[in-house]
Amino acid sequence: MQRIPPQHPAQKCSGFAYYFGRFLIKIFGWRVEGGVPESKHMLIIAAPHTSNWDALFLLGAAYSFGIRVNWLVKNSFFVPVLAQMITYFGGVPVDRSRATNMVSRLADQIRNSDGTNLVVPPAGTRSYTEYWKSGFYRIALEANIPVVCGYLDYDRKVAGLGLTFELSGEVKEDMARIREFYEPLVGKYPDKKSRILLKEEE
């Protein structure tokens, strides 16, 4: 698995990326709200995830906040030319076809980096799913970093960073807080919004 690109301790994106992000958000008539937590590392949940447009608005919002992000992408997208572009914008390839000890590897890389903002869409797909994947939870817990609820609300055309907290390890309690935050938010395709539940809760 490709390593997460190193980041500046302040986690700032370039000036070009900042203005590019603001341009993207403005041209599509969106706005950003919330603020960036004061943390060296963070795991940003990306939800609801129902469309390919989500990645564009996510990057636009992140750059508007002035931060760099890394995000997990299926390794099948890493083809010539496109691979270089994805990597430039912080994409990290993930091989879902085999066991790669991804959680421990990412947690270890985060702990040993200057500063990482890792974005993870727990639904794992743009289609409806009965369960979120628990990778985001396990990475944040193992790396001992805060979880930040990043969101796209297509109903209000708002992208933001909201609820931020340290996981307790009590899955049901932690997920109850996350569910309460995300339930009112609307994806581009509402019928594809996945149920906010981990298998571990059952």
Evaluate if residue 82 carries a pLDDT over 90: no
Model confidence over 121-171: pLDDT tens digits? 998 888 999 999 998 999 999 999 999 999 999 999 999 999 999 999 999
Kindly state the percentage of the chain with pLDDT values over 70: 92
Tokens of 146: 């805060």
Amino acid at 149: C
Mean pLDDT of 53-60: 91
pLDDT at residue 97, rounded to an integer: 58
Evaluate if residue 17 carries a pLDDT over 50: yes
Closest by CA to 9, choosing from 71, 67, 62, is 67
Separation of alpha carbons 16 and 52, rounded Å: 23
Look at the block and give the residue holding tokens 């085999």. 98
- Select the more confidently predicted residue: 119 or 98: 119
pLDDT at residue 54, rounded to an integer: 93
pLDDT at residue 142, rounded to an integer: 93
Look at the block and give the residue holding tokens 């590019």. 20
pLDDT at residue 2, rounded to an integer: 42
- Are 148 and 44 in contact by the 8 Å Cβ rule? The answer is yes
Confidence of residue 114 (pLDDT cuts 50, 70, 90): confident
Mean pLDDT of 44-73: 90
Model confidence over 4-14: pLDDT tens digits? 544 444 478 88
**pLDDT, averaged across the chain:** 87
pTM of the predicted model, to two decimals?
Answer: 0.87
Kindly state the percentage of the chain with pLDDT values over 90: 56
Mean pLDDT of 61-78: 85
Tokens of 33: 């709200």
